[in-house]
Chains A and B, each alone.
Chain A
C-alpha cells in the first residue's frame, strides 16, 4: 500500500473536503508567522509540458490558522500535516512552537524551498535545527531540486534533526508572452510543476534514498499509479499528488484503485527506530 498525500499548496481541504478525503494525509498550504496576500496576478501560466505558479505563500498567518482553519480541518477525518514557511530561522521556530501542542496536527513539513518568495538567509539545515528545538512533532524537510547535490542537503537536514524528506518542491521557470516578449506572470518567474518535473524528482528521491535513512514523500509530476510506483521504486515511502489535482480532483482515488488497494495507509512520520537511537 502506498500512502497518498497532496503536495502543499495544491489543495484547500476546506473548499473541497471530499477531495481531501481521498488522501492518507492532507498537507496544508504553507503557513507563515504573519498573514500574506501573496503575489499579484497573473499567477498561473501553462507551458508546453507543465505549468508555472507564482502564488507567493498567500495564507492567513499562524494565528488565524490556529483559530479558524485548524478547528475546521479536524472534522475531515484525515491526518493533518501543516506546511510551515518563513523568512528566517526565528520565523520557522516560532510557527513550529505554536503548532507543537496541537494534537490534531500529525506532522510538520518545513517548506525550505519556495521559489516565489525571498529566501531565509539561513541554510536548510539551520532552519531544520531551529524548528527541531521548537517542536516534538515529526519534521519533514521539503527540499528544492535546484541544487547541485541534493543528497548533501538531505544529509545536512538529517543531521539537523529532520524525521523525513519531502521531495521535491517546484523549480524556478519563466514563461514569456509571445506578443509582448514580457513575462506572463506578474512577478516574472514562477515555480515549475507538472509532468516535466517527474524525472528531476525521481533523480532527487533516488539520490536521497541512497544517502539517508529517512522516510521520503516523493512528488513531482505524479498523475497515475505508474508514476506512484516509479517513486516508490526510486526510494519513496509515500507519494504526493500536486498539479494533477488541478487537472482532475479525483486523481488520488484513481491512483489508489489502479494500485489495486482500496484501503488507506498510514504515512511513516518518524525516522526508523534504529536511526533514531543511533
Chain B
C-alpha cells in the first residue's frame, strides 16, 4: 500500500455548477494514477467518503464533490484553512497504455476526467449531464463534446473504434458494457474503508462478489 493518510489543509472551495471543487494541499500524498481514489474525511460524520482525484496541480490535490447526502454536504462546506484527513491513493486506476483514447463522462462521473485527460495529453472527450447547471462542470474538460438530457452521452459515441475510458452513473456504464465491451469503466459503490477491509463495496461479476476498492474501481470486462 503506497497510500498515506494525512490531514490536508483546504486551499480553496470553488463552486462548479452544482458541485464543489475542493482543492487541498498535497502534503506527502501521491496523486496516483487517474481513476484511483482517496478516502476523504466528511466533517462531523463517522466514515470517510471515496473520491477520485479530479486535478493534480503542483502541490495540490483537487476533488470534485456532488453534495447529495449529509457527508458530501459537509465536505462541500469546508473553507480555506480547514484540515481534513485524506487517505490514498487507493484501488486500481485506468490503464493509460491505450492507442486511441476516448473519455466518456456522465454527470459527476466527470470527476476523474481532468486528471486523466492531462495524463493522456488531451484526448477527445464526450460528456453528458442532466441539465445546463450540471453541464457547467464541462469547463473542467476543455474541448469535450457535451449533451444534456434528454440526449444521452452514448449518442455521441463515434463509429470508429476507440479505447473508451469512462465514469458515470450505473445506467451509462451498463450501456457502455454492451456497446463497448473492452471499455475501461470506473464504478462506484458505498464504501466504508477503501482498502479491502470491510467487504462493503462489492459488485457482482460472473456470479462472484468482488471488492470494488481492491479489484477496481476501474474494471475492464473484456480484453482490448
Chain A interface (Cβ < 8 Å from any Cβ of B): 9-12, 15-16, 18-19, 29, 37-38, 40-46, 49-51, 53, 55, 58, 194-195, 243, 245-250
A37 in contact with B190 given A15-B197, A43-B200, A195-B46 (CB within 8 Å): no
Q: CB-CB contacts of B18-58 with A at 8 A, as 1s and 0s?
A: 00000000000000000000000000011110000000000
Q: Nearest CB to that of B69 among chain A residues?
A: A46
Contacts of B189 in A (CB 8 A): 41-42
Cβ of B167 within 8 Å of any chain A Cβ, yes or no, is no
> Judging by beta carbons under 8 Å apart, are B192 and A246 in contact?
yes
- Complex interface residues of chain B between 191 and 218 (CB less than 8 A to chain A): 191-193, 195-204, 207-209, 214
> Judging by beta carbons under 8 Å apart, are B48 and A247 in contact?
yes
Interface of B is mostly: loop
Cβ of B85 within 8 Å of any chain A Cβ, yes or no, is yes
Interface of A is mostly: loop
Nearest CB of chain A from residue B173's CB, rounded to whole Å: 15
Chain B interface (Cβ < 8 Å from any Cβ of A): 1, 5, 45-48, 71, 85, 87, 189-193, 195-204, 207-209, 214
A243 in contact with B46 given A15-B197, A44-B190, A51-B192 (CB within 8 Å): yes
Nearest CB of chain B from residue A121's CB, rounded to whole Å: 26
Contacts of A43 in B (CB 8 A): 190, 199-202
10 contacts between A and B (CB under 8 A): A11-B197, A41-B204, A41-B209, A43-B190, A43-B200, A44-B192, A44-B201, A53-B198, A246-B197, A249-B197
Contacts of A245 in B (CB 8 A): 193, 197
Cα(A111)–Cα(B85), bound, Å = 33
Contacts of A40 in B (CB 8 A): 204
Most buried by A among B5, B48, B190: B190
